[in-house]
């Protein structure tokens, strides 16, 4: 069938919004009518050529929609179900899936890097030429095909824009705090970079009753949003030395947990320097492929410091998405405040500009009507 989609052909050139073809779902797959899709910085790394991906590709990895049709042997969802789309497709059988770490699924990583469905083939094309998938969802498209293991059903009356941002930014930020770092109540926390992901980490730290939540950014607008979402202090890193400021706010000790949600290794090093003895520094931001982190080995050793990555919020998505739904509904996760703007699919290039200009916390593309 035909679908209108946002296709990236060449890094640093405008994304083309055009009609392409999408094939029917095969065994274990579903056809989704996409309603909402969030604009995350991870795609922008690809658009700017900082991160490799097979091209041309239908972009979009944070989305929600309605199951339109299913291929043979699908049991997890049925037509009419409302679903969150995941950008990892747990195979359920590899070492990492089997030991409760599906965000690290080996099979999913392979298909994600290859730009294919889990079976190694492709459903999008234009004039007979293949167009790759982008890490699974490819949800900047009116219709997409995705494996059933990458779908999590949600209640039919749940707001689609909120469901969409749960699919990446929210679970990544909240999950980094709750799943990856397992921050205990009363801890002190700093979050470097409070865009969509960092603000979600602030909300996660609030959720686990951190005693101090210090938001660090260069953009005062982002710092205001961080305060509105539960930060206790802000540090504008364009005006001062953020490490010094955090040490001052924590009686010279540093924070128990520091999160980096930008993708700059220099800031990961700052986060490490702002962490207390026995503390943990968590890298959420997506670094360039060639980047290296330097930390003082003697301090790492003598102060029992931990430096770790957090990928997709270390999510166990079939548990975490329903848990986020309940938290939102009980008013404990004010995700509406994260959505600054809505755009039609045709204006994706403008949405990218606004994200890079720091004008939005998160924006959402309204892809199809209900």
Ligand X SMILES: NC(=O)c1ccc[n+]([C@@H]2O[C@H](COP(=O)([O-])OP(=O)(O)OC[C@H]3O[C@@H](n4cnc5c(N)ncnc54)[C@H](O)[C@@H]3O)[C@@H](O)[C@H]2O)c1
- Active-site annotation, residues: 40, 42, 45, 61, 168
Looking at residue 363, the DSSP 8-state letter turns out to be: E
Among 5, 6, 7, 42, binds Zn ion (CB under 5 A): 42
Question: Residue 35 is encoded by which pair of tokens?
Answer: 């309603």
Looking at residue 285, the DSSP 8-state letter turns out to be: S
Q: Does 137 bind ligand X (CB under 6 A)?
A: no
**DSSP letter string over 7-65?**
EE-STTSPPEEEEEEEPPP-TTEEEEEEEEEE--HHHHHHHTTSS---SSEE---SEEE
Cβ-proximal residue to ligand X, closest one: 195
Could you give the CA distance from residue 131 to residue 22 in angstroms, rounded to a whole number?
A: 10
- The answer to whether the bond into 56 is cis (omega within 30° of 0) is yes
Locus of tokens 């703007």: 341
Among 31, 35, 197, 203, binds ligand X (CB under 6 A): 197
Q: Does 165 bind Zn ion (CB under 5 A)?
A: no
Question: Measured at the alpha carbon of residue 340, what is the angle toward residues 231 and 313, in degrees to the nearest 5?
Answer: 55
- Which of 239, 337, 335, 313 is closest to 88 using CA atoms? 313
Locus of tokens 């930060």: 231
Q: Does 285 bind ligand X (CB under 6 A)?
A: yes
Among 194, 203, 271, 368, binds ligand X (CB under 6 A): 194
Size of the site for ligand X (CB under 6 A): 33
Q: At its nearest, how many Å lie between Zn ion and the CB of residue 305?
A: 28
Q: At its nearest, how many Å lie between Zn ion and the CB of residue 11?
A: 17
Which residues are CB-contacts of 343 (< 8 A; sequence separation ≥ 6)? Answer: 39, 350, 351, 363, 364, 365, 366
Q: Does 310 bind ligand X (CB under 6 A)?
A: yes
Q: Does 189 bind Zn ion (CB under 5 A)?
A: no
Q: Does 215 bind ligand X (CB under 6 A)?
A: no
Among 8, 46, 47, 91, binds Zn ion (CB under 5 A): 91
Distance separating the N- and C-terminal Cα atoms of the chain = 19
Q: Which is nearer to ligand X, 264 or 303 (CB)?
A: 264
Locus of tokens 């994706």: 348
Applying the rule CB under 6 A, the residues between 233 and 262 that interact with ligand X are 237, 261-262
Q: Does 264 bind ligand X (CB under 6 A)?
A: yes
Q: Using CB distances below 5 to 8 A depending on partner kind, what does residue 38 bind out of ligand X, Zn ion, none? A: none
Contact 361, 222 (CB under 8 A): yes
> 2-8 and 63-70 as β-strands: parallel, antiparallel, unpaired?
unpaired
Site stretch for ligand X (CB under 6 A), options 76-84, 120-128, 218-226, 288-296: 218-226
Write down how long the chain is. Answer: 370
Applying the rule CB under 6 A, the residues between 158 and 187 that interact with ligand X are 168-169, 172
Site mask for ligand X (CB under 6 A), range 13-52, x = bound: ---------------------------xxx--x-------
Q: Which is nearer to Zn ion, 180 or 188 (CB)?
A: 180
Among 130, 230, 322, 358, binds ligand X (CB under 6 A): 358
Q: Which is nearer to Zn ion, 168 or 255 (CB)?
A: 168
Q: Using CB distances below 5 to 8 A depending on partner kind, what does residue 105 bind out of Zn ion, ligand X, none? A: Zn ion
Element holding 355 (H helix, E strand)? helix 348-356
Among 7, 84, 105, 122, binds Zn ion (CB under 5 A): 105
Could you give the CA distance from residue 270 to residue 12 in angstroms, rounded to a whole number?
A: 30
Could you give the CA distance from residue 161 to residue 165 in angstroms, rounded to a whole number?
A: 7
Among 149, 180, 286, 314, binds ligand X (CB under 6 A): 286
Query: How many C-beta atoms lie closer than 10 Å to residue 125's C-beta?
Result: 13
Q: Using CB distances below 5 to 8 A depending on partner kind, what does residue 97 bind out of ligand X, Zn ion, none? A: Zn ion
Q: Using CB distances below 5 to 8 A depending on partner kind, what does residue 94 bind out of Zn ion, ligand X, none? A: Zn ion
Please give the residue ranges that form the binding site for ligand X (CB under 6 A): 40-42, 45, 168-169, 172, 192-198, 216-219, 222, 237, 261-264, 267, 284-286, 310-312, 355, 358
Please give the residue ranges that form the binding site for Zn ion (CB under 5 A): 40, 42, 91, 94, 97, 105, 107, 168
């Amino acid at each position: 069938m035909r679908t209108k989609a946002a296709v990236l052909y060449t890094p640093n050139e405008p994304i083309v919004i055009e009609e392409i073809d999408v094939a029917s779902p095969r065994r274990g797959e579903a056809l989704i009518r996409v309603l909402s899709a969030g604009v995350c910085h991870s795609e922008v790394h690809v658009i700017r050529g900082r991160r490799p991906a097979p091209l041309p590709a239908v972009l979009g990895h944070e989305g929600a929609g309605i199951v339109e049709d299913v291929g043979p042997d699908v049991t997890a969802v049925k037509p009419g179900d409302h679903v969150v789309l995941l950008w990892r497709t747990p195979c359920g059988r590899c070492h990492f899936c089997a030991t409760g770490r599906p965000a690290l699924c080996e099979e999913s990583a392979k298909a994600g890097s290859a730009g294919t469905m889990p079976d190694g083939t492709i459903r999008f094309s234009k004039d007979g030429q293949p167009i790759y998938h982008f890490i699974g969802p490819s949800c900047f498209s009116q219709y997409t095909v995705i494996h059933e293991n990458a779908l999590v059903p949600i209640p039919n009356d749940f707001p689609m824009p909120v469901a969409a941002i749960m699919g990446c930014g929210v679970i990544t930020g909240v999950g980094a705090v709750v799943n990856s770092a397992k921050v205990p109540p009363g801890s002190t926390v700093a979050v470097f970079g409070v865009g969509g992901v960092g603000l979600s980490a602030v909300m996660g730290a609030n959720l686990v009753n951190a005693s101090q939540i210090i938001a660090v950014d260069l953009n005062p607008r982002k710092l205001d949003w961080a305060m509105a979402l539960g930060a206790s202090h802000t540090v504008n890193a364009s005006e001062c030395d953020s490490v010094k400021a955090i040490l001052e706010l924590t009686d010279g000790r540093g924070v128990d947990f520091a999160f980096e949600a930008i993708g700059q290794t220099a800031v990961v090093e700052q986060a490490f320097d702002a962490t207390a003895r026995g503390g943990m520094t968590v890298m959420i931001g997506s670094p360039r492929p060639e980047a290296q982190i330097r930390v003082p080995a003697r301090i790492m050793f003598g102060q029992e410091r931990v430096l770790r990555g957090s990928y997709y919020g270390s999510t166990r998505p079939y548990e975490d998405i329903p848990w986020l739904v309940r938290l939102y509904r009980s008013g404990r996760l004010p995700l509406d405040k994260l959505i600054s703007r809505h755009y039609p699919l045709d204006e994706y290039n403008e949405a990218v500009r606004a994200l890079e200009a720091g004008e939005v916390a998160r924006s959402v593309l309204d892809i199809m009507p209900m």
